[in-house]
Amino acid sequence: MKQNDLKNINICCIGAGYVGGPTMAVLAKHCPNIQVTVTDHNLERINDWNSIDLSKLPIYEPGLDEIVNKYRGKNLHFSSEVEKNISIADMIFISVNTPTKTKGVGAGKASDIKWVEACARQVANNAKDHTIIVEKSTLPVRTAEVIKNILESATSIKSQKNPSISFDVLSNPEFLSEGSAIKDLENPDRVLIGGENNQAIKALSEIYENWVPVKKILYTNIWSSELAKLTANAFLAQRISSINSIGALCEATGADVREVSRAIGTDSRIGAKFLDAGPGFGGSCFKKDILNLVYLASYFGLHEVANFWESVVKLNYWHQNRISRLIVKKLFGTLSDKKIAVLGFAFKANTNDTRESAAIQICKELLEEGAILSIYDPKVSRKQIKRDLNFINDPYEIKTESNNLNKYFIADNIQETFQDADAILILTEWSEFSNINWESAYKMMRKPAWVFDSRSIVNPQKVLDANLKLWRIGDGSKISNI
C-alpha cells in the first residue's frame, strides 16, 4: 500500500457475517473509489450474498438489501477466494466469529480466538507490500498482540525476499445494534480507532471521514480500544438485567415497570435507552463479552469485579426461567399436551439472528414441561429454529395436532399457531404481533386462553375485551395480571 495514496485502494474483509457484510456494504456505498471484497470460506454463505433474489441474503437488516443491490458488482464484491483477495488488499478487516471457549483454560468464559489466529496466518502467508490489518471482531484485550506476533514472525522471513512487506495492526470495534445496523453504520455515535502508527490510523480515519464527522472519530491506544468494546456491551447488558429485575419486583408489588422506566429515564444521568423490560438479553455479543470480562478480571485477580459482572449473566438466566415457570403456574401447574403459540424466535425484531435468543432457552424449558409448541417468526428460517432447538436431524416436525410425537411444529403464518392453542407467548417485538385480531385469535384457541406478552407490545384492553387472560411483563396491576 502506497502511504500517500489512500483513496484508490483495495479492501478485503475476512468474514461475511453480521459484522462484515453490513459494514462493508455501507463502506462501499460511501467510498466509490475503493474496491471492497467480503470473503468467507463458507461457499453457501457467499452464494447467498451473490443471489439475484435479495430475500436470500444471509442477513436480514432493514435497508441492507437496497445497498447490496445497488453496489454489488461495482465496488462491492463477495468471494470465497480468501487468499487471492488478501494478496491484492491494501487494508484487511478481520470480522470472524470469536465464540466462547467450550473446553480447556477459560472454558465457558474466555473467547476462542482460533479463527482470528487463522486469519492472521492467512494474511502472513499471502499479503504483499505494506498492509493494514483492522480488528473488527469483538476480541479479548491484547488480541492485537497475538496478531502482531504472527505477522512479525512472517515478516522477518518474507522480507528477505521482498523488503516492502510490512504490517500495521489497528483496533476498530463495531458498535452495531442488530435490527438497526445500517442506521448505526450510516450515523454512528462514534468510530473508535486504536493503534500505534499514526499513519495507519490516518489511513483508516480518512475512509470513515467520507461520511462520518471528524468529531465522532475517537483515537485511543490499541488496548483501550479492545477493552472499550467489551465494556460497552457489558454496560448495556447490565441495564437490561437491571430493568428486568425491577420488572419482577413490579409484578410482586402492584407497580408497572413501564411507568418506572419512564420515570427514571427522564433523569439525564440515566437516560431512557435500554430500559424496556423483556425476556432477557440475547445476540452474539452481550453474554460472550461479559463472560470475557469475567475471565479477564479473574485472571488478574480481581475476583470481586468478576463476581459483579457474572451476576448480570446469572440474573438473565434466572429471568428467562422465571417466565417459563410463570407460564406453567398460570396454566394450572402443567403443560403436558398443552399447545403454546410462540410468536418470535429472533433475539430482537428486525433481524434474523437467533444467537443467545431468549426464545431458545424458554422454548426448551416449555418442551421439557411437555408442551406442544407452535413457533412462528417472520424472518428466522425453519432450518435455523430446528438447529437451535437441537431438532436439526428430525426427519420432520409434527404437522397436525393429532400427531404430537415431536411436540413442536413451525408455522408459516400467525393464524396457524392459534388453532387449539392454550396460550400465546410473544417473545420478539415484531410489529405485526402488536396488530393481532384478538377476537379472532380467541375463537380459534382452547379455553381458558392466555396471552403472555414478554415485550409489552399488545394493547391490554383489546386483549381483555376479547375474553383472553393476560400477563404482561413487569405489570403488577390486577386488570392485567389475572
β-strand partners of 35: 10
Q: How many CA atoms lie within 13 A of 387 on its CB side?
A: 10
427: Cβ–Cβ under 8 A, 6 or more apart, which residues?
279, 342, 343, 344, 345, 357, 358, 359, 362, 454, 455
Dihedral sign, Cα of residue 260, residue 189, residue 59, residue 431: positive
In one-letter notation, the amino acid at residue 93 is F
Gyration radius of the chain over CA positions: 24
Question: Any catalytic annotation for residue 31?
Answer: no
Please count the other Cβ atoms lying within 10 Å of the Cβ belonging to residue 417: 25
β-strand partners of 14: 39, 94
Distance of CA 354 to the CA centre of its chain: 8
Q: Measure the CA–CA gap between 411 and 421, rounded to whole angstroms.
A: 13
In one-letter notation, the amino acid at residue 289 is D
C-alpha dist (Å) from residue 7 to 31, 32, 34, 172: 8, 9, 7, 19
Q: Measure the CA–CA gap between 442 and 453, rounded to whole angstroms.
A: 15
Q: Which three cell numbers stand for residue 356?
A: 443467545
The catalytic residue among 31, 119, 285, 363 is: 285
List the catalytic residues.
285
